[in-house]
Amino acid sequence: MQKIQYRVESGHPIICPFLASGNLHELLFADRSMAIVVAAKSQTLPAGHEIRVVNTISGEVVYKKSEGEIFAHHDD
pLDDT 10s digits, 4-21 = 899 999 999 998 887 776
- 49 neighbors 11 (Cβ within 8 angstroms): yes
Confidence of residue 71 (pLDDT cuts 50, 70, 90): very low
The domain limits of the chain are 6-72
The rounded distance, in Å, linking the Cα atoms of 38 and 52 is 10
Q: Rounded to two decimals, what is the model's pTM?
A: 0.80
Three-state SS string over the chain comes to CCCCCEEEEEEEEEECCCCCCCCEEEEEECCHHHHHHHHHHCEECCCCCCEEEEECCCCCEEEEECHHHHHHCCCC
